[in-house]
Structures are given as structure tokens and as C-alpha cells.
Structure 1
């Protein structure tokens, strides 16, 4: 019979709050907290081990257990918040890439590097693999992931190309087409190999080489003469 989370293994004296406080200990704010996952911890003196009793963090915790679902109406909302937060800083760096219409190569190199740093991050790659494997079974979560991850990334790329077009720095082509072509050139020699575990996360030298090749090919096709 399993012992983990089995109420019948609890000490009878702890039955009132269903905790034997025997999972782990943590020193916090001058007390030693003995904890178990399914209830509030017991507080002890860290030097003498005198037991003070159940610890509710000075009345701040009013429930024995709690869940993130208290803050989100559904699993979908929780997942959406996670995806947004996971990629927030990297997407913001893409959005903040400075556009220099007089030096297109510099602008595109900076953009390409920030893009590849984002999509080759191990956590992002792992999430990509997970969503791809579950997309058919959980299409709503896949949609949420796309709208808050890949779609926001593409929109950040489009913003740069809109500015380059406004400066007449490149040929007058639809900015979405430009963004998607540039994206494909940057990731073509790297992303699939990482997704399929052929290569680990590429180092900065590898990223710079891929971006240099992508920028050269892109300018050959789209730069104004």
C-alpha cells in the first residue's frame, strides 16, 4: 500500500489538519517550518526545536491548500498567462530593436540575432515540442500558444520591416512577406536540428554565422539597388 499522501499514515494527533509535517523543512522569518504538501506547516524554534504550532504566516494564509486556479478562470487562461510571461522579455527585445534606415545590414543583424536567441532558448524549444505533440488533442491551447508566442514574434518582425519600407530602404514588398522570408532564412539551418535533438542550443558564434548568411541572402533579394 502506498504511503505518499495516504491519510491513514498520518499521526492521529495531526488528523485535525491532515498533516504530519514530514515532507521538508524551511527556515523562514526566524522560525523553522516543517511542511507537508497538503496543509499548513508547523513552526518550530530553529535552535531548540520547540513546536509553536500550525503556522498561517501571521494570518496571511486562510486556507490549508490553494491553487493557481484561484486566480484564473480556466486552464486556458492560466496557460495563456504562462506563455505571455515566458516569452515577454525576449519578445520585448525584438520590439525594441532600433531601426536604422541608412544601415539596413546592421538593423537586420540585430533583429536576426534577437530572434534566434529567442527561438533557440531551451525552454522555448521544449514548449514548441510539447505544443506540436498536443496540438491535435488540445487545439484551443495550441491556438493560445500561437497567438501569444509565434504570432507576437512575427508581429515584432513586421514592425521593423514596416519602418524599413517607410524609409524606402528595401524594395516595396508587403511587410508580412518580408518578415516571414527573413524569419525562414534565419532559422533554416538551426531550428529544426534543435527541435529534433540533432544539435543542442547553438552558441553565439553559430547564431552570428546563421544571421550573417540570412542577412546576405535577404539583401540580395530585397535591398534597393
Structure 2
């Protein structure tokens, strides 16, 4: 039995990314991907049991390169001015999730989620981890007295929903084209105004140390 390697897995993901981009999820096949990788279907299935899992791996591989630095920066800025930290965070997140590449990937996941477990695989591999990291940051701020005490996971869901409401949802539906940095910045500002209006510590300031 051949030993699996990270290098081989990465090579498969890279090739699959090209195939999915060219042919779409429906048009792509494991046969085509295996042929371009230069191996057998058995080898391909040894790494990824289904096309759905491979597709999710492609999406998450790309997302990881964008989101890891954003969340690392968030953790390092825990003691800075909260409103400014969240503004920077919101703008960076929106720049990624509103990009054409990510919008198209989300549309594909949504389209297939009713027919397979691709939605669950995507959520558990990416968005849920991001929400967990965001909740951890917000919980820190609650302990510092900058935000009122609440369920940090629920607060993270609220923040993400507010950021998405003017941006991601219209983009997904095709009623909003590519957004400028100014538009994303202003949308993030409005989302944070509502979020801090509901979660800032009572009688205090969200920027209090």
C-alpha cells in the first residue's frame, strides 16, 4: 500500500483547482482530475473519497491562505482599540468573501448542498473554524469589560451576519457587482455600528482597556 504524502495531496488539490475552474463542479470528473495528476483513480480516491470532498479541499486551501493571516492579526491586536481592530478585521474579511473567486465557490457549494453533504463539509472545514476564532476574540473583549457579557459564539454569528448583509448576500444573488474598497469599508463601518450598539459594555466604551 502506498504511503500518503502531503506533497501528493497538495499536487492533487492544485490540479483539481484548475479542473474545477475550467469545467465547474458539475462538469469536472474524478477521471479527468486523475488523468491530469498522472495517477490512477484508486490513488485519487485514496486521498479524497468523493468529488465533493476534493472540491471542498480546493476551496478551503485557497481560503486558508487568505484567512489565516487575518485571524492571526486579530489575535495579536487583542489589546488595541477595539473599534479600530474590528474595522480592520471587517474590511479584510469582506475583501476576501466578496471576491469573485469566493462568491463563485459559495454558489457552487450552495447549489450542491441539497444533494450531498458538501455544505456540511465546507462549513466544518472553514466557516465554523472562523466563527470559533472570532468568538474567542470577542470573549476576550468581554472579559476586559469592553463588550457586555454574552454568549461569544452567538455574538460572532451576529457580527458575521451584519458584515454579510450588505455585501455577501447581494453578491451571491447577482444583484451587486464587484465592490470597491470604499464601499466595503463603509459597509463594515455600518455593520460595526450596529454590532457595538448591541454589544458594547453598558455605561462604558468598547475601546476601554
Per the normalisation by structure 2, the TM-score is 0.70
Other-structure match for 1:74: 49
Other-structure match for 2:159: 182
Q: Tell me, yes or no, if the aligned pair for 1:154 and 1:179 is still in contact at 8 Å.
A: yes
How many residue pairs align between the two structures?
A: 163
From 151, 160, 183, the counterpart of 2:137: 160
Structure 1 residues 223 and 118, CA gap change in structure 2 (3 angstroms): same
**Structure 1 alignment gaps of length 5 or more:** 1-36, 41-63
From 179, 194, 209, the counterpart of 2:171: 194
Question: Is 2:86 the partner of 1:108?
Answer: yes
Other-structure match for 1:18: none
Q: Tell me, yes or no, if the aligned pair for 1:161 and 1:178 is still in contact at 8 Å.
A: yes
Which protein has greater RCO, CA pairs closer than 8 Å, 6+ apart? 2
Shift in Å, 1:67: 5.2
Question: Is 2:142 the partner of 1:142?
Answer: no
Other-structure match for 1:214: 191
Deviation string, structure 1 residues 29-71 (Cα, Å, up to 9, x no partner):
xxxxxxxx9xx9xxxxxxxxxxxxxxxxxxxxxxx94257625
Other-structure match for 1:95: 71
Shift in Å, 1:211: 0.8
**Structure 2 alignment gaps of length 5 or more:** 1-31, 205-209
Question: Is 2:108 the partner of 1:133?
Answer: no
- Structure with bigger strand share is 1
Question: Is 2:92 the partner of 1:117?
Answer: no
